[in-house]
């Protein structure tokens, strides 16, 4: 027998978009239920990038590949707080040129940079968006800065959603201002319900109206129970992979899952003469803005395990470098992806699969980016660098890097990763392209909405969390102002 629940608003997913949507609607007096596929794991006792965290917070233990003409490793949160629990908490406001492009190409009504900038302070105050203390900058970041200053390249220190009080790294367990510490508690305090370890498997609809949602909950003893949720309004906030998969599995397919975009990334390990102990430091703090928005360069979180993964494509050659891991740091070069992908759901299970084919522009930008990151790392004193490529296994000189100013890395040699996915259900009034209207309501439905990175029309060129939360707040405010309880 199915357990039956009724609510005014159902929010599927508790990440950046879902959490702020739930909090704002609950505080406005709506009866809200949040359904989260993952567990409500206490974050303040587990290091973010530990094996235990990978098991408890990540989908598929952190292994969710995106298929296509290049192998791309993708990580996705699956817990209360979603991706905000596993990311680096970088905070960027939307780029003005992106907002103008989206408004023009996708016919988004009432979307302006001034309007979004008016919303950001509310979110930034809640998340304590701030800069690291100077004494907390890791040595790997200082070296990057020295290389950038020697080249006279533009860069910035990136603010983060973080607690900065107390000594040591601001990213000790529990210090990050993720959704489980901010908007989810606000939603619960305002009366929202939270159902965890519960996967929504189908959205049932009749014409323009969703009438019920079917879910399966996992009990502590391993048992399963079916749940039927009747909701007056449904917000799907599962992320740019899970949201279109659920919608398509539910028969909702118009412009859904046909326009996936990502920020593809090459990781680079660098060996220096000095002992860095990068695993003990705060996360890197600088990003190169000299080549924005096409190419971004910065530091990456370091653990010996992450270093081994970076070296794994050429393990027989690179394994000896693990003996010098105390002298190594990880960096990345990413590009503003211009290729397109799709998201589909397997017929019976509904499990999601993402496919993305790198474009020629992506190939060029990543190749030039490899030349640029080699330039700055060798200027910073690196002895050799190890890109996450099948070939070359290692780069020993600046001259070797500079060859990628003229020649492109073959697709067959690439082994990429990405933590930024979006655009699988674009918003706007252009019915040829958009799955949802200018405020997130799915075209053709009266009570079905999207509230996550799926709505971002194309690549934002910066970390998308700020854009996701600003759009979610904007759309929640519009819903409150225009719908009766």
Report the number of secondary-structure helices (H) and strands (E) in the chain.
Answer: 12, 21
3-40+79-128+177-253+422-482 shares its CATH topology with 134-171+264-418: no
Tell me the whole-structure pTM to 2 decimals: 0.95
DSSP 8-state symbol, 427 = B
| Alpha carbons 311 and 217: distance in angstroms, whole number | 39
pLDDT of 174: 62
Cβ neighbours for 358, distance < 8 A, ≥ 6 positions apart: 68, 69, 70, 264, 337, 339, 366, 411, 414, 416
pLDDT of 168: 47
pLDDT of 74: 93
Sign for the CA dihedral angle at 236, 240, 246, 250 comes to positive
281 token code pair: 């430091």
| Alpha carbons 191 and 288: distance in angstroms, whole number | 43
| Alpha carbons 308 and 459: distance in angstroms, whole number | 30
Q: Where are the domains of the chain?
A: 3-40+79-128+177-253+422-482, 134-171+264-418
- CATH class (in words) of the domain with range 134-171+264-418: alpha beta
Catalytic positions are 420
| Alpha carbons 237 and 128: distance in angstroms, whole number | 23
| Tens-digit pLDDT string for the chain (485 aa) | 689 999 999 999 999 999 999 999 999 999 999 999 999 977 666 666 667 777 778 888 777 899 999 989 998 999 999 999 988 889 999 999 999 999 999 999 999 999 999 999 999 999 999 988 666 788 999 999 999 999 999 999 999 998 765 544 545 666 789 999 999 999 999 999 999 999 999 999 998 999 999 999 998 887 899 999 999 999 999 999 999 999 999 999 999 999 999 999 999 999 999 999 998 876 788 999 999 999 999 999 898 989 999 999 999 999 999 999 999 999 999 999 999 899 999 988 889 999 999 999 999 999 999 999 999 999 999 999 999 999 999 999 999 999 999 999 999 999 999 999 999 999 999 999 999 999 999 999 999 999 999 999 999 999 999 999 999 999 999 999 998 76
pLDDT in tens, 26-52: 999 999 999 999 999 776 666 666 677
- CATH class (in words) of the domain with range 3-40+79-128+177-253+422-482: alpha beta
pLDDT of 71: 86
Sign for the CA dihedral angle at 436, 440, 444, 445 comes to positive
CB atoms within 10 A of CB 177: 23
| Alpha carbons 421 and 108: distance in angstroms, whole number | 20
pLDDT in tens, 102-134: 999 999 999 999 999 999 999 999 999 998 866
pLDDT of 282: 67
């Amino acid at each position: 027998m199915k357990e039956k629940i009724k609510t005014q608003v159902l929010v599927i997913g508790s990440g950046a978009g879902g959490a702020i949507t739930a909090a704002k609607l609950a505080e406005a007096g709506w009866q809200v239920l949040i359904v989260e596929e993952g567990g409500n794991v206490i974050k303040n006792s587990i290091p973010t990038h530990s094996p235990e965290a990978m098991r408890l917070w990540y989908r598929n233990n952190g292994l969710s590949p995106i298929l296509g003409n290049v192998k791309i490793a993708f990580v996705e949160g699956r817990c209360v707080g979603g991706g905000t629990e596993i990311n680096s908490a970088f905070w960027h406001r939307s780029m003005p040129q992106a907002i103008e492009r989206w408004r023009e190409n996708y016919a988004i009504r009432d979307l302006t940079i001034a309007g979004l900038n008016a919303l950001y302070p509310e979110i930034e105050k809640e998340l304590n968006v701030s800069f690291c203390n100077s004494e907390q900058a890791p040595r790997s970041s200082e070296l990057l800065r020295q290389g950038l200053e020697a080249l006279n390249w533009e860069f910035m220190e990136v603010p983060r959603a973080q607690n900065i009080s107390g000594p040591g790294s601001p990213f000790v367990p529990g210090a990050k201002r993720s959704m489980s510490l901010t908007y989810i508690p606000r939603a619960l305090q305002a009366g929202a319900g939270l159902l965890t370890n519960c996967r929504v498997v189908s959205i049932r609809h009749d014409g323009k109206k969703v009438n019920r949602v079917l879910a399966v909950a996992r009990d502590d003893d391993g048992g399963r129970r079916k749940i039927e949720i009747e909701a007056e309004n449904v917000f799907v906030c599962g992320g740019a992979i899970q949201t279109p998969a659920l919608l398509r599995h539910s028969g909702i397919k118009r412009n859904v899952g046909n326009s996936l975009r990502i920020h593809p990334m090459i990781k680079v390990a660098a060996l220096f003469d000095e002992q860095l102990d990068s695993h003990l430091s705060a996360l890197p703090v600088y990003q190169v803005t000299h080549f924005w928005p096409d190419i971004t360069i910065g530091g990456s979180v370091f653990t010996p395990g992450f270093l081994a993964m970076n070296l794994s494509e050429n393990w027989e050659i690179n394994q000896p470098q693990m003996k010098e891991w105390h002298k190594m740091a990880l960096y990345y070069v990413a590009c503003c992806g211009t290729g397109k992908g799709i998201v589909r759901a397997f017929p019976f299970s509904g499990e999601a699969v993402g496919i993305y084919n790198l474009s020629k522009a992506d190939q060029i930008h990543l190749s030039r980016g490899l030349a640029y990151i080699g330039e700055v790392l060798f200027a910073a004193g690196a002895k050799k660098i190890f890109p996450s490529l099948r070939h070359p296994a290692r780069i020993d000189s600046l001259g070797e890097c500079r060859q990628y100013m003229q020649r492109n890395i073959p697709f067959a040699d690439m082994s990429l990763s990405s933590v930024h996915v979006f655009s699988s259900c674009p918003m706007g009034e252009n019915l040829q392209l958009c799955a949802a209207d200018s405020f997130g309501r799915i075209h053709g439905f009266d009570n079905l909405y999207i509230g996550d990175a799926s709505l971002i029309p194309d690549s934002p060129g910066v970390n998308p969390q700020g854009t996701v939360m600003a759009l979610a707040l904007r759309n929640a405010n519009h819903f409150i102002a225009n719908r009766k309880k």
